[in-house]
């Protein structure tokens, strides 16, 4: 078993706003092993980006408050660290790739300089010439053609996909152990998205980097993830290996997400399954299960008491009262069951 | 097949030296959904905007219900055209005026076209439209910021429906929305199409959603339609290597398929002078030279 590099324990993050205290992250627990990819899936406002920014201590305080919990990176809690201590970890040990490659790059600085800057900052003994050589190697490594010429160009001279490659090159410059990618391909076209994902996987394989991949695209999750955490209203509601989440989902919200994506074989005459309503307001998180109001299988207890994480397998957990031994047995919605069967065919037994 | 509602003939839209749309032709039939897909910069949005007269076109013809819409038009003819054809935009945050209530946004077209002048009648129509898109009559008095993204897009749809159009251009209507909300909006569009006999031009880059909503699909690349056919033709029997490459890049929510995914990279081939659109199968068109077609066909 690979070594655990990151452990997040009961993380709670609030934001002070004029409308009141927003409980953006409400007790999140997960861990990450070396060389592993964890995908965090959720919709806007689910707390997935706040969680990932928190790992880098990028939550501005105020208005943000680390209300509770620990972020143990290689066993050391990051929350009490000072800004100075954190700046040593950022880039060096943990690096981040953002959604929009244009805003992540400095438009007035040549890309080469933006990469060498990182190399020089993190390796005090490196000369400028060495840093330049390394930067060109990195550009080459992330698949940018003519890296020597590209080194002295500005970001606007690059296409969207090429810019995201530059951002990845910068993130890799200091050889981080953990890479956090927050919707890194959402702004890109599908063919470019596929190339960027292939690139990230290749790099992971070569360097044994751990990756946290934040996305709302379940197709991308199925491609990149070893394990998946599904977030809803600031909490992880289902957590398991990629096969467990896609082939044996237990939480009605996960069912809803899987059902609302059209399948290439969907019959055009049937309507898509939808999750009715919209996510709750986190200034006043609802009592009980936050998903209850949108859950067609909600029971009385869902409106009264928050469900615990029920264990489904040694690696699979779901936060829904439906898993309580006394709960009525609820079948997986037909549309989702049909699709899983369609994907797996005869092998269903093997996965479920 | 039913009658043609829209004919686009050799449409060209150039911005300076950039040929955003470089001579495309296609028909849209009454009651169908034609999906227009392609990657950013391929000219799909420009095509939609040219059809609805947001741009003056560089060349070609656009014929809607038998009339050339870019020819000289009287004010009355233009008003009629504007009623018949409406647009739904991508960004429900940017496309609604923050100073207007939902009711005012929906009713704006009534003022322009001098419709429903009676206050009571107008309120009634607005209420009906709000209900048709799954909102409440009470929502009429609220401002855009009081709605979620999905609700805003519903207001955008209600506005498009207000003048009872027959043709709607939906330009990436769901790409700014969350997954669970996307399905709600797509279902709504499908249901309205049935109830009101609407024809859609559905512009998008999300190929799985396009496949689901479209009867026929046109694939655009660099200002050209490289392939056009029924949704089944395009997905199961693609001919153009670009279409194949695009399809091979769509990630599916299935870890087993994803573990063995092989992406087909696309190598651009110059088409040059000999290029034309071939009908490879009845209703299935591919753009290329004779020689290329021979190579691409299985």
Does one domain contain both A242 and A268?
Answer: yes
For residue B250, give the nearest of A219, A257, A276 by CB distance. Answer: A219
Total domain count, chain B:
1
A106-164 pLDDT, tens digit per residue, is 999 999 999 999 899 888 888 999 999 999 998 988 888 889 999 999 999 888 888 88
Least confident segment among A187-201, B55-69, B123-137: A187-201
The per-residue pLDDT of chain A, averaged, comes to: 89
- Whole-angstrom Cα distance, residue A348 to residue B160? 45
Please compute the mean of the pLDDT values over residues B94-104 and round it to a whole number. Answer: 92
CA pair distance A259, A255, nearest whole angstrom: 6
**Residue B22 in contact with residue B224, Cβ under 8 Å?**
yes
Distance CA A237, CA A250 (A): 10
Residue A297 — very low, low, confident or very high, per pLDDT cuts 50/70/90? very high
Contact state of A275 with B180 under an 8 Å Cβ cutoff = yes
pTM of the model: 0.86
Mean pLDDT value of segment A287-316: 94
- CB-CB contact of A112 with A169 (8 Å): no
pLDDT at A352 over 70: no
Mean predicted confidence (pLDDT) in A256-267: 76
As a whole number, mean pLDDT of residues A270-279 equals 80
Give me the mean pLDDT over the B165-176 stretch.
91
Residue A266 pLDDT class (50, 70, 90 cuts)? low
CA atoms of A7 and A295, how far apart (whole Å): 30
- Quickly state the pLDDT bin for B161 (edges 50, 70, 90): very high
B159 touches B110 (CB < 8 A): no
Taking an 8 Å cut-off on Cβ atoms, the answer to whether A220 and B251 are in contact is yes
Q: Does A190 touch chain B (CB under 8 A)?
A: yes
pLDDT digits (tens, 9 = 90+) for A68-107: 999 999 999 999 999 999 988 988 899 999 887 778 899 9
Provide the pLDDT confidence category of residue A203 given band limits of 50, 70 and 90. confident
Q: How close is the nearest chain A Cα to the Cα of B152, in Å?
A: 13
**Do A159 and A199 have their domain in common?**
yes
A289 and A247 belong to one structural domain: yes
Most A-contacting residue of B134, B179, B244 (CB-CB within 10 A), to test interface: B179
Is the pLDDT assigned to residue A264 strictly greater than 70?
no
Beta-carbon contacts of B206 under 8 Å, excluding residues fewer than 6 positions away, are B174, B175
pLDDT band per the 50, 70, 90 thresholds, residue A322 = very high
Same domain, A191 and A109: yes
Tokens 């992540």 -> residue:
A104
Phi, psi dihedral angles at B281 (to 5 degrees): -155, 150
* Res. B213 pLDDT band, cuts 50 70 90: very high
Instruction: Inform me whether the pLDDT recorded for B274 exceeds 90.
Output: no
Q: What's residue B136's pLDDT? A: 87
Mean pLDDT of B153-170: 94
Residue at which a domain ends, from A225, A241, A266: A225
pLDDT for A348 beyond 70: no
Q: What is the pLDDT of residue A98?
A: 84
Q: How confident is the model at residue B242 (pLDDT cuts 50, 70, 90)?
A: very high
- Tell me what pLDDT residue B273 has: 76
* pLDDT surpasses 80 at A57: yes
Q: In this structure, are residues A250 and A316 in contact, taking their beta carbons and an 8 Å threshold?
A: yes
The Cα–Cα gap between B38 and B246 comes to: 9
Q: Å from A248 to nearest chain B CA?
A: 12
Q: Provide the domain limits for residue A187.
A: 4-225
Q: What is the mean pLDDT of residues B212-224?
A: 94
Same domain, A170 and A44: yes
Q: Which residues of B touch A257 (CB under 8 A)?
A: 179-180
Residue B72, pLDDT score: 75
Position A274 scores a pLDDT of 81
At residue A351 the predicted structure's pLDDT band, cuts being 50, 70 and 90, is low
Q: Are residues A251 and A337 in the same domain?
A: yes
- A150 and A287 fall within a common domain: no
Among B27-31, B89-93, B200-204, the range scoring the smallest mean pLDDT is B89-93
Residues A136 and A174 in one domain: yes
Confidence of residue B221 (pLDDT cuts 50, 70, 90): very high
Per-residue pLDDT tens over the stretch B185-196: 899 999 999 999
DSSP B35-100: EEE--TTSSHHHHHHHHTTSS--SEEEEEETTEETTS---HHHHHHHHHHEEEE-S-TTTSS-TTS
The residue that leads in pLDDT, A215 or A101, is A215
**Cβ within 8 Å of residue B6, ≥6 positions away:** B27, B28, B51, B62, B63, B64, B167, B199, B201
Mean pLDDT of B223-246: 94
Cross-chain residue pair B245–A191, CB shorter than 8 Å? yes
Q: Which residues of B touch A222 (CB under 8 A)?
A: 251-255, 257-258
Q: Does B175 touch chain A (CB under 8 A)?
A: no
The conformation of residue B240, written as its DSSP 8-state character, comes to S
Q: Are residues A327 and A263 in the same domain?
A: yes
- Can you tell me the distance from the alpha carbon of A148 to that of B209, in angstroms, rounded to the nearest whole number? 41
Q: Residue B275: count other Cβ atoms within 10 Å of its Cβ.
A: 16
Which positions in chain A touch B258 (Cβ < 8 Å)? Answer: 219, 222-223
Cα separation, A219 vs A225, in Å, equals 10
* pLDDT attached to residue A349: 65
Q: Is the ipTM of this complex over 0.90?
A: no
Could you say which residues from 195 to 214 on chain A have a Cβ atom under 8 Å away from some Cβ of chain B?
195, 197-198
What is the rounded end-to-end Cα distance, in angstroms, of chain A?
23
Which CATH number is B183's domain given? 3.40.50.300
CB–CB of A246 and B207 under 8 A? Answer: no
B151 in Cβ contact with B69 (< 8 Å): no
- Number of domains chain A is built from: 2
| pLDDT surpasses 80 at B298 | no
Answer whether A183's CB lies under 8 Å from A9's CB. Answer: no
- Cβ contacts of B257 within 8 Å, gap of 6 or more: A222, A343
Chain A residue closest in CA terms to B266: A191
What integer pLDDT is reported at residue A299 of this predicted model? 93
Residue B101 DSSP label = B
pLDDT band of B147, cuts 50, 70, 90: confident
Please state, in angstroms and rounded to a whole number, the distance separating the CA atoms of residues B79 and A21.
Answer: 50
Same domain, residue pair A57 and A114:
yes
Domain range for B252 is: 4-296
To the nearest 10°, the Cα dihedral for B69, B75, B76, B80?
40
Task: Give chain B positions within 8 Å (CB) of A191.
Answer: 39, 245-246, 249, 263, 266
Mean pLDDT of chain B: 91
* Structure token digits, residue B170: 């939906």
Q: Which residues of chain A make contact with B136, given a CB cutoff of 8 A?
A: none
Q: Are residues A104 and A243 in the same domain?
A: no
In this predicted structure, what is the pLDDT of residue A269? 64
d(CA B107, CA B151): 17
Domain containing residue A331: CATH number: 3.40.50.300
CB B53 within 8 A of CB B69: yes
Q: Nearest CA of chain A to the CA of B142: how many Å?
A: 18
Distance CA A17, CA A65 (A): 11
Are residues B212 and A222, on separate chains, in Cβ contact within 8 Å? Answer: no
pLDDT of residue A42 exceeding 80 = yes
Q: Which residue in the set B179, B211, B251 is minimally distant from A260, CB to CB?
A: B179
Kindly tell me if the per-residue pLDDT of A14 is higher than 90: yes
Rounded to whole angstroms, the Cα distance separating A224 from A346 reads 24
Interchain proximity B179–A271, CB inside 8 Å: no
Residue B259 Cα distances to A182, A265, B255, angstroms = 22, 19, 6
Alpha carbon A96 to chain centroid, angstroms:
11
């Amino acid at each position: 078993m690979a070594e655990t590099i990151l452990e997040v324990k009961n993380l709670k993050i609030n934001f002070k706003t004029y409308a009141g205290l927003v409980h953006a992250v409400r007790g999140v627990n997960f861990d990450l092993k070396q060389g592993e990819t964890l995908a965090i899936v959720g919709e806007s406002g689910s707390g997935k980006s706040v969680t990932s920014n928190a790992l880098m201590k990028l939550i501005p305080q105020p208005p943000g408050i680390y209300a509770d919990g620990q972020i143990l990176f290689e066993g050391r809690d990051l929350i009490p660290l000072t800004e100075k201590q954190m700046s040593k970890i950022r880039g060096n040990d943990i690096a981040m790739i953002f959604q929009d490659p244009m805003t992540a790059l400095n438009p007035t600085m040549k890309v080469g300089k933006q990469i060498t800057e990182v190399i020089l900052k993190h390796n005090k003994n490196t000369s400028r010439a060495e840093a330049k050589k390394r930067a060109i190697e990195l550009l080459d490594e992330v698949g940018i053609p003519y890296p020597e010429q590209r080194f002295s160009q500005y970001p606007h001279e690059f296409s969207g996909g090429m810019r995201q490659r530059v951002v990845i090159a910068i993130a890799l410059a200091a050889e981080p152990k953990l890479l956090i990618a927050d919707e890194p391909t959402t702004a890109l076209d599908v063919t470019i998205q596929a190339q960027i994902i292939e690139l990230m996987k290749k790099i992971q394989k070569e360097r044994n980097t751990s990756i946290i991949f934040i996305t709302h695209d379940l197709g991308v999750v199925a491609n990149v993830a070893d394990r998946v955490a599904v977030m809803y209203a600031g909490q992880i509601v289902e957590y398991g290996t990629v096969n467990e989440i896609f082939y044996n989902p237990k939480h009605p919200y996960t069912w809803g997400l899987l059902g609302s994506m059209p399948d290439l074989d969907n019959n055009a005459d049937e309507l898509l399954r939808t999750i009715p309503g919209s996510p709750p307001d986190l200034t006043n998180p609802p009592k009980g299960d936050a998903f209850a109001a949108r859950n067609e299988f909600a029971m009385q207890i869902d409106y009264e008491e928050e469900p615990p994480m029920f264990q489904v397998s040694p690696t699979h957990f779901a936060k829904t009262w439906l898993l309580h031994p006394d709960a009525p047995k609820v079948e997986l919605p037909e549309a989702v069951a049909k699709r899983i069967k369609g994907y797996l065919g005869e092998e269903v037994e093997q996965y479920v | 097949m039913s009658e043609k509602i829209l004919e686009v003939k050799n449409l060209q839209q150039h911005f300076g030296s950039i040929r955003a749309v470089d001579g495309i032709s296609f028909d849209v039939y009454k009651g169908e959904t034609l999906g227009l897909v392609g990657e950013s910069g391929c000219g799909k949005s420009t095509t939609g905007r040219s059809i609805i007269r947001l741009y003056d076109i560089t060349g070609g013809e656009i014929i809607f219900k038998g009339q050339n819409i870019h020819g000289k038009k009287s004010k009355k003819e233009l008003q009629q055209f504007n009623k018949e054809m409406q647009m739904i935009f991508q960004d429900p945050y940017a496309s609604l005026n923050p100073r207007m209530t939902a009711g005012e946004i929906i009713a704006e077209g009534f003022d322009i076209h001098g419709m429903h002048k009676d206050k009571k009648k107008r309120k009634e129509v607005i209420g009906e439209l709000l209900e048709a898109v799954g909102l409440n009559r009470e929502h009429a008095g609220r401002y855009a910021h009081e709605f979620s993204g999905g609700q805003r897009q519903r207001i955008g749809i209600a506005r498009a429906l207000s003048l009872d159009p027959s043709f709607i251009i939906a330009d990436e209507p769901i790409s700014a929305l969350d997954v669970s909300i996307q399905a709600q909006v797509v279902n709504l569009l499908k249901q309205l199409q049935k109830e009101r006999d609407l024809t859609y031009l559905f512009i998008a880059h999300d190929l799985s959603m396009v496949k689901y909503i479209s009867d026929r699909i046109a694939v655009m690349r660099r200002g050209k339609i490289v392939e056009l056919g029924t949704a089944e033709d395009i997905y199961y029997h693609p001919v153009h290597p670009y279409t194949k490459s695009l399809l091979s890049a769509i990630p599916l929510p299935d870890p087993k398929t994803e573990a063995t995914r092989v992406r087909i990279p696309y190598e651009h081939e110059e088409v040059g002078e000999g290029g034309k659109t071939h009908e490879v199968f009845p209703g299935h068109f591919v753009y290329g030279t004779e020689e290329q077609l021979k190579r691409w066909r299985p």
